[in-house]
C-alpha cells in the first residue's frame, strides 16, 4: 500500500507505459520536496534531463536501454566534446532519475542495469588568481569611497555604479570565499547591523555565516548599505544591477569577463577563481584547514584539503626563487 501511495503521489502509474519527458518535472518536484535539494541543483538537473530528452528526440530513439546510454555518452564525449566533469554530471543525473523512476514504476526502463561506466574525472588543482593580478585588479578602481571624508563623487547615487558594485562584490568574494550563487542571493536582512557577519545559504540549503574583518571592506559595505534607497526593505538583494533588480550570476560573470579583457589579463576571471583565491590565501597564512572548511561550506574536509596542495605549489615556487643553496654553493 505504501509503495502504491508513493506512486500515486508522484503521478506515476505502474500500469501505464513510462514516458521520459512528462516525468522530468515530477522527478524534480520529488527532489525539491523530499530531498530538499537547492534550486540551483534543481535547475542543473532540469538542464541535464532536457539535454537527454533532446538527444533521444533528435536520434529518434524508441527505447531507452543500455545501448541508448552508451550512444548518449559517445555523443557527449565525441560529437559535443564536453568536459569530462560535464559528461559525468549528466550521466550521474540520468542514473539518479532512472533509479527513482524504477523504484516507483516497474514499467520504467532500467538502462544502467549491468553497465559499468568509468566516470572518473581527471583531478585538477584549483586555479587561484595570482596575488599580483589581485593587486592590479583592486588598484584599477578609485578608492574615494574608502576614505573617511564625505562621499564626494560617489554622491548622487553613483555609489550604485556597476564599477563600484563589481569591486565590492569581488572584494567580498576574496575575503569570504562565497560561491557566486550565494553572493548574488544575499539579502540586506542577511547582514548583521554592523555588516561584519553575513548569513548565507549554500548547497543542500545548509546555512552558515561568513565574516568581514577587513576594515576597508567593512567600511565600504556599511556605507553602501546605508546609501541604499531600499535599506528599509530587508528582502531586497544586496547586489543589484543599474535597474535596481538582483544582480544575476550570468551578469556578474559577464562583468568579470569584460574586466579581464579591459585589463588584458592572461586568463579570464571567474567567480569560482576568487573562491579558490580566498581558500588558498588563508591556507598560505597558516589558518587551520577546518576553519577554512567551515568558511567555504564544504560538507567534507577532503574537498578543502586540495587547497593544501595548491599551497605546497606556492611553497615550492617560493623556495625555488630563494634558492638558498645556490647562494652559498654556486
* Domain 2-104 in CATH 1.10.150: yes
CATH (one of 1.10.443.10, 3.30.40.10, 3.30.70.260, 3.40.50.1370) for 131-272: 1.10.443.10
Between 301 and 56, the more confident residue is 56
Average of per-residue pLDDT across 66-83: 92
Write b or e for each residue in 258-289: b if 16 or more Cβ atoms lie within 10 A of its Cβ, otherwise e: ebbeeeebeeebbbebbbbbbbbbbbbeeeeb
At 145 the pLDDT is: 39
How many whole angstroms separate alpha carbon 209 and alpha carbon 289? Answer: 17
pLDDT at 317 over 70: no
Helix (H) or strand (E) run with residue 281 in it: helix 271-284
- What residue segments make up the domains of the chain, in order of their start? 2-104, 131-272
At 53 the pLDDT is: 93
Q: How confident is the model at residue 316 (pLDDT cuts 50, 70, 90)?
A: low
Q: How confident is the model at residue 141 (pLDDT cuts 50, 70, 90)?
A: low
At 310 the pLDDT is: 65
pLDDT at 253 over 80: yes
pLDDT at 251 over 60: yes
Listed range (82-86, 238-242, 309-313) with the worst mean pLDDT: 309-313
Catalytically active residues, by annotation? 179, 203, 272, 275, 298, 307
At 284 the pLDDT is: 81
Q: Among 13, 12, 10, 47, which residue's Cα sits nearest to residue 30?
A: 10
Q: Please, what is the average pLDDT of the chain?
A: 80
Q: Among 136, 200, 182, 138, which residue's Cα sits nearest to residue 164?
A: 138
Question: What secondary structure does DSSP assign to 180-236, as a single string?
Answer: HHHHHT-BGGGB-TTSSEEEEE-GGG-EEEEE---HHHHHHHHHHHHH-TTTT-TTS
Instruction: Give the angle 300-169-282 at the CA atoms, nearest 5°.
Output: 40
Dihedral class, residue 79 (left if φ above 0, else alpha if ψ from -120 to 50, else beta):
alpha
Highest-confidence range of 126-135, 164-173, 298-307, by mean pLDDT?
Answer: 164-173
pLDDT at 46 over 70: yes
**Contact criterion met (CB below 8 Å) for 231 and 225:** yes
pLDDT, one tens digit per residue, over 257-269 is 988 888 888 888 9
At 63 the pLDDT is: 85
How many whole angstroms separate alpha carbon 44 and alpha carbon 89? Answer: 9
Residue 179 C-beta-side C-alpha neighbours within 13 Å: 14
pLDDT, one tens digit per residue, over 169-215 is 999 999 998 999 999 999 999 999 999 999 998 877 788 989 998 99
Task: For residue 69, give the 3-state DSSP assignment.
Answer: helix
Handedness of CA 214, 220, 226, 229 (dihedral sign): negative
Between 160 and 304, the more confident residue is 304
At 327 the pLDDT is: 63
End-to-end, the C-alpha distance of the chain in Å comes to 82
Amino acid at each position: 500500500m505504501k509503495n502504491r501511495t508513493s506512486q500515486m503521489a508522484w503521478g506515476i502509474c505502474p500500469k501505464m507505459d513510462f514516458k521520459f519527458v512528462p516525468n522530468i518535472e515530477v522527478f524534480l518536484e520529488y527532489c525539491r520536496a523530499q530531498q530538499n535539494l537547492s534550486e540551483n541543483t534543481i535547475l542543473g538537473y532540469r538542464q541535464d534531463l532536457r539535454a537527454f530528452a533532446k538527444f533521444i528526440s533528435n536520434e529518434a530513439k524508441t527505447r531507452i536501454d543500455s545501448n541508448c546510454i552508451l550512444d548518449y555518452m559517445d555523443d557527449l564525449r565525441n560529437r559535443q566534446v564536453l568536459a569530462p566533469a560535464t559528461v559525468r554530471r549528466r550521466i550521474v543525473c540520468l542514473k539518479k532519475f532512472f533509479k527513482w523512476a524504477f523504484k516507483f514504476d516497474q514499467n520504467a526502463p532500467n538502462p544502467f542495469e549491468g553497465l559499468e561506466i568509468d566516470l572518473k574525472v581527471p583531478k585538477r588543482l584549483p586555479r587561484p588568481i595570482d596575488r599580483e593580478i589581485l593587486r592590479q585588479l583592486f588598484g584599477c578602481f578609485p578608492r574615494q569611497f574608502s576614505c573617511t571624508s564625505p562621499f564626494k563623487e560617489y554622491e548622487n547615487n553613483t555609489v550604485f555604479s556597476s564599477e563600484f558594485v563589481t569591486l565590492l562584490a569581488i572584494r567580498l568574494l576574496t575575503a569570504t570565499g562565497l560561491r557566486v550563487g550565494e553572493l548574488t542571493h544575499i539579502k540586506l536582512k542577511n547582514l548583521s547591523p554592523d555588516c561584519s557577519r553575513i548569513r548565507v545559504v549554500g548547497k543542500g540549503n545548509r546555512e552558515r555565516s561568513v565574516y568581514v574583518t577587513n576594515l576597508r571592506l567593512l567600511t565600504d559595505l556599511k556605507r553602501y548599505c546605508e546609501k541604499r534607497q531600499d535599506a528599509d526593505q530587508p528582502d531586497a538583494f544586496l547586489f543589484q544591477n543599474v535597474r535596481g533588480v538582483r544582480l544575476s550570476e550570468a551578469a556578474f560573470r559577464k562583468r568579470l569577463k569584460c574586466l579581464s579583457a579591459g585589463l588584458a589579463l592572461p586568463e579570464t576571471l571567474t567567480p569560482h577563481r576568487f573562491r579558490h583565491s580566498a581558500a588558498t590565501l588563508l591556507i598560505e597564512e597558516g589558518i587551520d584547514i577546518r576553519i577554512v572548511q567551515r568558511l567555504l561550506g564544504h560538507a567534507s574536509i577532503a574537498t578543502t584539503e586540495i587547497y593544501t596542495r595548491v599551497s605546497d605549489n606556492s611553497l615550492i615556487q617560493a623556495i625555488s626563487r630563494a634558492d638558498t643553496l645556490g647562494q652559498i654553493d654556486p
